[in-house]
Structure 1
């Protein structure tokens, strides 16, 4: 059923707090590799091979930031002992080599790390989603959200509008390149499907009493120093509700 995408238990720091619920982290703790890496990466490879139009997209004003984001990911991985980085390829911890000579930098990111990555650009109405690799959506679809502002992206989220929305926007306005921020989001699911897209407002709300799995998203907000756009990465932990 799970094919290895589940963790036995959640990391100790995977504690969810109400929005915005962020704290600073060391930049070296941006990307993580956990026990589900091989299984999750096999799923990501399959999605990027078979359904790329569903899991990655970029608008023209996000292309430079997408290239910058890939360069930051590769630089981060080059300092890790579990990846082998050369000029043209990266060898992943599961042994697969990924080419860096690709004209789809967000797709390449999706083949390197467990994290999904959204890119948001400032606008008079607030930060807009201008690019993403989103292999593991939790009840939303990339095509429906592209180009939307933070407020519109969170339209179905209870209690987001008003003060919470303003506080989140201030975080995106003020995050510094050398000081990324992290938060954890707890979701309850009745399926272990990591690729779980749904159209906005179509999902059936579920709570702890009727779910079989806990899904915790480790969300990191970081400033891309060259373009000034914001990256929002999502590392998905999935555990059986009884064992989390």
Structure 2
């Protein structure tokens, strides 16, 4: 299979920033549509059809938040000329027509945008993952993280210590509707595969920067939904050949 790659990343993926590396994001820039849209969407649709239980989940109580997330995306897409948007159908730039299922809103989202979408809702003192469509996991498994709080979601990330956990929880508590935030990461891989689930008990061995053939970078956004008060953690995945980025 041909690797699905981008030719550019709209930020400096290799710039070093201390964790958690958060910056303000213009609401209009929340979703990204790049040169890999068609290929990424074809893979997403195949995964959602063939492996739905591995790439999507939703707690029953999170359905209103997931529906609000879908409405938020449709509102953003309705402002673009390359999408046709109605309450029942979305016509995508690659010509596909996606029939919207408001009882499975995350499954619909997964067929429309490149971003993976994670829903987190406050339960007690922490935000908990109550729903997600995650077609491009970077060495983690959705089933292990579903209905877990932030600190458990980040197992086995060594840098995610108690101090970072408190700072990230404050970010999720403090993000305001209409004022999203973003951060990025960058990791070297020797394989460009986008669907790379991995158990937290078998973490990936890091690929040294000098040896990696591909750079994988996620543009991660944090956005508050005003009605449900849920937080969307969205992930746009870029993969580039080493020679295209250095």
Normalising by structure 2, report the TM-score. Answer: 0.94
The runs of 4+ residues in structure 1 deviating greater than 3 Å are 12-16
What is the 5 A alignment of 1:75-86? 75-86=75-86
For 1:28-49, what per-residue CA distance to the aligned partner results, in whole angstroms no more than 9, with x for missing partners? 1110100000000000000001
Note if contact 1:16-1:183 (Cα within 8 Å) is conserved in structure 2: no
For 1:49-77, what per-residue CA distance to the aligned partner results, in whole angstroms no more than 9, with x for missing partners? 11000000011232111111011111110
For residues 44 and 170 of structure 2, the distance between their equivalents in structure 1, rounded to whole angstroms, comes to: 32
Shift of 1:243: 1.5
Note if contact 1:181-1:221 (Cα within 8 Å) is conserved in structure 2: yes
For residues 221 and 235 of structure 2, the distance between their equivalents in structure 1, rounded to whole angstroms, comes to: 7
What is the 5 A alignment of 1:34-73? 34-73=34-73
Note if contact 1:125-1:149 (Cα within 8 Å) is conserved in structure 2: no
For residues 97 and 159 of structure 1, the distance between their equivalents in structure 2, rounded to whole angstroms, comes to: 42
3-state SS in 2 of match to 1:17 = coil
For residues 153 and 61 of structure 2, the distance between their equivalents in structure 1, rounded to whole angstroms, comes to: 18
Note if contact 1:17-1:183 (Cα within 8 Å) is conserved in structure 2: no
Note if contact 1:23-1:181 (Cα within 8 Å) is conserved in structure 2: yes
Q: Residues 71 and 219 (structure 1 numbering): CA distance in 2 closer, same or farther, change over 3 Å?
A: same
Q: Name the residue aligned to 1:130.
A: 130
For residues 69 and 162 of structure 1, the distance between their equivalents in structure 2, rounded to whole angstroms, comes to: 30
| Structure 2 gap ranges (5+) | none
Q: Residues 160 and 183 (structure 1 numbering): CA distance in 2 closer, same or farther, change over 3 Å?
A: same
Q: Are 1:201 and 2:201 counterparts?
A: yes
Shift of 1:242: 2.3
3-state SS in 1 of match to 2:111 = helix
Q: Name the residue aligned to 2:235.
A: 234
- Over the aligned positions, Cα root-mean-square deviation in angstroms equals 1.4
Shift of 1:13: 4.9
Shift of 1:16: 5.7
3-state SS in 1 of match to 2:197 = coil
3-state SS in 2 of match to 1:112 = coil
Q: Are 1:7 and 2:31 counterparts?
A: no
Q: Name the residue aligned to 1:186.
A: 186
For residues 127 and 56 of structure 2, the distance between their equivalents in structure 1, rounded to whole angstroms, comes to: 19
For residues 152 and 11 of structure 1, the distance between their equivalents in structure 2, rounded to whole angstroms, comes to: 30
Q: Name the residue aligned to 2:223.
A: 222
Q: Name the residue aligned to 1:88.
A: 88
Note if contact 2:141-2:198 (Cα within 8 Å) is conserved in structure 1: yes
Q: Are 1:148 and 2:148 counterparts?
A: yes
Instruction: Name the count of aligned residue pairs.
Output: 243
Shift of 1:211: 1.7
Normalising by structure 1, report the TM-score. Answer: 0.95
Q: Name the residue aligned to 1:243.
A: 244
Shift of 1:207: 2.5
For residues 105 and 71 of structure 2, the distance between their equivalents in structure 1, rounded to whole angstroms, comes to: 9
Q: Name the residue aligned to 1:210.
A: 211
For residues 38 and 16 of structure 1, the distance between their equivalents in structure 2, rounded to whole angstroms, comes to: 31
Q: Residues 206 and 13 (structure 1 numbering): CA distance in 2 closer, same or farther, change over 3 Å?
A: closer
Shift of 1:102: 4.5
